[in-house]
Protein backbone atom coordinates (compact mmCIF):
# COMPACT_ATOMS: atom_id res chain seq x y z
CA UNK A 1 0.00 0.00 0.00
CA UNK A 2 2.82 2.40 0.91
CA UNK A 3 4.61 1.63 -2.35
CA UNK A 4 1.44 2.31 -4.35
CA UNK A 5 0.82 5.57 -2.52
CA UNK A 6 4.44 6.63 -3.09
CA UNK A 7 4.06 5.88 -6.79
CA UNK A 8 0.86 7.87 -6.96
CA UNK A 9 2.52 10.83 -5.27
CA UNK A 10 5.49 10.61 -7.60
CA UNK A 11 3.21 10.69 -10.65
CA UNK A 12 1.15 13.55 -9.22
CA UNK A 13 4.27 15.63 -8.60
CA UNK A 14 5.64 14.92 -12.08
CA UNK A 15 2.36 15.86 -13.79
CA UNK A 16 1.95 19.02 -11.72
CA UNK A 17 5.54 20.04 -12.41
CA UNK A 18 5.25 19.46 -16.15
CA UNK A 19 2.05 21.50 -16.33
CA UNK A 20 3.38 24.43 -14.31
CA UNK A 21 6.81 24.51 -15.93
CA UNK A 22 5.13 24.66 -19.33
CA UNK A 23 2.62 27.37 -18.40
CA UNK A 24 4.75 29.57 -16.13
CA UNK A 25 8.33 28.76 -17.10
CA UNK A 26 11.09 27.32 -14.96
CA UNK A 27 12.05 30.49 -13.09
CA UNK A 28 8.51 31.52 -12.17
CA UNK A 29 7.46 28.05 -11.06
CA UNK A 30 8.00 27.46 -7.35
CA UNK A 31 8.24 24.17 -5.50
CA UNK A 32 5.41 25.44 -3.29
CA UNK A 33 3.16 25.81 -6.34
CA UNK A 34 4.07 22.34 -7.60
CA UNK A 35 3.34 20.82 -4.19
CA UNK A 36 -0.02 22.59 -4.03
CA UNK A 37 -0.96 21.49 -7.55
CA UNK A 38 0.03 17.89 -6.77
CA UNK A 39 -1.77 17.89 -3.42
CA UNK A 40 1.36 16.99 -1.46
CA UNK A 41 3.68 18.77 0.95
CA UNK A 42 6.77 20.67 -0.14
CA UNK A 43 8.83 18.21 1.87
CA UNK A 44 7.38 15.35 -0.19
CA UNK A 45 8.49 17.05 -3.42
CA UNK A 46 12.03 17.40 -2.11
CA UNK A 47 12.10 13.83 -0.82
CA UNK A 48 11.16 12.51 -4.27
CA UNK A 49 13.33 14.79 -6.43
CA UNK A 50 15.91 16.63 -4.32
CA UNK A 51 15.61 20.12 -5.76
CA UNK A 52 13.72 22.08 -8.42
CA UNK A 53 16.36 21.67 -11.14
CA UNK A 54 16.49 17.90 -10.65
CA UNK A 55 12.70 17.80 -10.76
CA UNK A 56 12.60 19.81 -13.97
CA UNK A 57 15.20 17.69 -15.76
CA UNK A 58 13.63 14.48 -14.50
CA UNK A 59 10.10 15.22 -15.69
CA UNK A 60 11.28 16.42 -19.10
CA UNK A 61 13.47 13.34 -19.54
CA UNK A 62 10.80 10.92 -18.37
CA UNK A 63 8.11 12.51 -20.55
CA UNK A 64 10.33 12.47 -23.63
CA UNK A 65 11.46 8.90 -23.04
CA UNK A 66 7.85 7.84 -22.56
CA UNK A 67 7.07 9.13 -26.05
CA UNK A 68 10.12 7.36 -27.45
CA UNK A 69 9.06 4.10 -25.80
CA UNK A 70 5.72 4.26 -27.60
CA UNK A 71 7.51 4.92 -30.90
CA UNK A 72 9.89 1.99 -30.29
CA UNK A 73 6.88 -0.28 -29.76
CA UNK A 74 5.41 0.87 -33.10
CA UNK A 75 8.67 0.14 -34.92
CA UNK A 76 9.01 -3.27 -33.29
CA UNK A 77 5.53 -4.45 -34.25
CA UNK A 78 5.77 -3.24 -37.86
CA UNK A 79 5.73 -6.16 -40.30
CA UNK A 80 8.92 -5.33 -42.18
CA UNK A 81 8.67 -8.45 -44.33
CA UNK A 82 5.65 -7.13 -46.23
CA UNK A 83 5.73 -4.87 -49.30
CA UNK A 84 8.30 -2.18 -48.49
CA UNK A 85 6.35 0.94 -49.41
CA UNK A 86 3.41 -0.26 -47.31
CA UNK A 87 5.66 -1.14 -44.36
CA UNK A 88 7.46 2.21 -44.37
CA UNK A 89 4.26 4.20 -44.87
CA UNK A 90 2.40 2.30 -42.17
CA UNK A 91 5.22 2.65 -39.63
CA UNK A 92 5.82 6.35 -40.24
CA UNK A 93 2.09 7.12 -40.27
CA UNK A 94 1.57 5.43 -36.92
CA UNK A 95 4.60 7.21 -35.43
CA UNK A 96 3.32 10.56 -36.70
CA UNK A 97 -0.15 9.94 -35.29
CA UNK A 98 1.27 8.83 -31.96
CA UNK A 99 3.32 12.04 -31.70
CA UNK A 100 0.44 14.25 -32.85
CA UNK A 101 -2.01 12.74 -30.36
CA UNK A 102 0.35 12.78 -27.38
CA UNK A 103 -1.01 15.41 -24.97
CA UNK A 104 2.52 16.11 -23.71
CA UNK A 105 3.91 16.90 -27.16
CA UNK A 106 3.13 20.63 -27.18
CA UNK A 107 4.24 20.87 -23.57
CA UNK A 108 7.63 19.41 -24.39
CA UNK A 109 7.98 21.66 -27.45
CA UNK A 110 7.32 24.79 -25.37
CA UNK A 111 9.75 23.74 -22.68
CA UNK A 112 12.52 22.95 -25.17
CA UNK A 113 12.08 26.27 -26.95
CA UNK A 114 12.03 28.38 -23.80
CA UNK A 115 14.33 26.50 -21.44
CA UNK A 116 16.93 24.68 -23.57
CA UNK A 117 19.26 27.74 -23.69
CA UNK A 118 19.45 27.56 -19.88
CA UNK A 119 19.71 23.77 -19.71
CA UNK A 120 22.17 22.49 -22.35
CA UNK A 121 21.62 18.96 -21.04
CA UNK A 122 18.17 19.06 -22.65
CA UNK A 123 19.80 19.41 -26.07
CA UNK A 124 22.14 16.54 -25.23
CA UNK A 125 19.11 14.45 -24.25
CA UNK A 126 17.36 15.08 -27.57
CA UNK A 127 20.49 14.17 -29.51
CA UNK A 128 21.24 11.07 -27.45
CA UNK A 129 17.66 9.74 -27.40
CA UNK A 130 16.13 10.55 -30.76
CA UNK A 131 13.67 8.82 -33.05
CA UNK A 132 16.16 8.06 -35.81
CA UNK A 133 18.10 5.30 -33.98
CA UNK A 134 14.81 3.47 -33.48
CA UNK A 135 14.13 3.56 -37.22
CA UNK A 136 17.75 2.81 -38.14
CA UNK A 137 17.67 -0.76 -36.81
CA UNK A 138 15.00 -2.12 -39.20
CA UNK A 139 16.50 -0.14 -42.10
CA UNK A 140 19.84 -1.80 -41.42
CA UNK A 141 18.11 -5.19 -41.55
CA UNK A 142 16.46 -4.28 -44.85
CA UNK A 143 19.86 -3.30 -46.17
CA UNK A 144 21.39 -6.61 -45.14
CA UNK A 145 18.52 -8.42 -46.83
CA UNK A 146 19.19 -6.51 -50.06
CA UNK A 147 15.79 -4.81 -50.02
CA UNK A 148 17.31 -1.35 -49.58
CA UNK A 149 20.65 0.08 -50.67
CA UNK A 150 21.64 1.12 -47.15
CA UNK A 151 25.27 1.50 -46.14
CA UNK A 152 24.70 3.94 -43.27
CA UNK A 153 21.46 3.04 -41.49
CA UNK A 154 21.55 6.07 -39.19
CA UNK A 155 21.84 8.45 -42.13
CA UNK A 156 19.08 6.59 -43.97
CA UNK A 157 16.84 6.92 -40.90
CA UNK A 158 17.61 10.64 -40.71
CA UNK A 159 16.65 11.00 -44.38
CA UNK A 160 13.40 9.06 -43.89
CA UNK A 161 12.46 11.14 -40.84
CA UNK A 162 13.35 14.40 -42.59
CA UNK A 163 11.21 13.48 -45.61
CA UNK A 164 8.19 12.39 -43.58
CA UNK A 165 7.90 13.11 -39.84
CA UNK A 166 9.79 16.41 -40.05
CA UNK A 167 7.65 17.53 -42.99
CA UNK A 168 4.49 16.96 -40.96
CA UNK A 169 5.99 18.74 -37.94
CA UNK A 170 7.06 21.68 -40.09
CA UNK A 171 3.71 22.01 -41.86
CA UNK A 172 1.81 21.87 -38.56
CA UNK A 173 4.30 24.13 -36.74
CA UNK A 174 5.09 21.32 -34.27
CA UNK A 175 1.43 20.51 -33.80
CA UNK A 176 0.21 24.04 -33.12
CA UNK A 177 -1.73 24.20 -36.42
CA UNK A 178 -4.32 21.56 -37.39
CA UNK A 179 -3.30 19.27 -40.22
CA UNK A 180 -5.87 17.04 -41.87
CA UNK A 181 -5.37 13.30 -42.17
CA UNK A 182 -5.39 13.66 -45.95
CA UNK A 183 -2.60 16.26 -45.88
CA UNK A 184 -0.60 14.18 -43.42
CA UNK A 185 -1.00 11.10 -45.61
CA UNK A 186 0.04 13.07 -48.70
CA UNK A 187 3.21 14.34 -47.03
CA UNK A 188 4.15 10.90 -45.77
CA UNK A 189 3.43 9.17 -49.08
CA UNK A 190 5.50 11.74 -50.95
CA UNK A 191 8.39 11.43 -48.50
CA UNK A 192 8.39 7.64 -48.58
CA UNK A 193 8.37 7.77 -52.40
CA UNK A 194 11.43 10.02 -52.47
CA UNK A 195 13.17 7.81 -49.89
CA UNK A 196 12.56 4.65 -51.91
CA UNK A 197 13.84 6.28 -55.09
CA UNK A 198 17.03 7.21 -53.26
CA UNK A 199 17.54 3.89 -51.45
CA UNK A 200 16.12 1.24 -53.77
CA UNK A 201 18.78 -1.27 -54.74
CA UNK A 202 19.98 -1.18 -58.33
CA UNK A 203 18.21 -3.63 -60.61
CA distance 156 to 160: 6
Domains 1-50 and 61-199 share a fold: no
CATH of domain 1-50: 1.10.10.60
pLDDT tens figures, 26-69: 999 999 999 999 999 999 999 889 999 999 999 988 888 888 99
pLDDT band per the 50, 70, 90 thresholds, residue 90: very high
Lowest mean pLDDT among 9-18, 124-133, 190-199: 124-133
Give the predicted TM-score (pTM) of the model.
Answer: 0.81
Q: Are 100 and 177 in contact (CB under 8 A)?
A: no
Domain ranges of the chain: 1-50, 61-199
pLDDT at 1 over 70: no
- The class level of CATH for 61-199 reads mainly alpha
pLDDT band per the 50, 70, 90 thresholds, residue 119: confident
CA distance 144 to 146: 5
Exposure string of 92-110, with b = 16+ CB inside 10 Å and e = fewer, is bbbbbeebbebebbebbbb
Amino acid sequence: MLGTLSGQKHEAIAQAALTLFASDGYERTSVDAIAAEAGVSKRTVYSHYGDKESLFLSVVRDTYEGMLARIAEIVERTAWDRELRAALTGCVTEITRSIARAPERSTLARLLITEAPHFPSLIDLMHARAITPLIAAPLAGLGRAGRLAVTDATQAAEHLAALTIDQVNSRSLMGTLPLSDDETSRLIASGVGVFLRAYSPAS
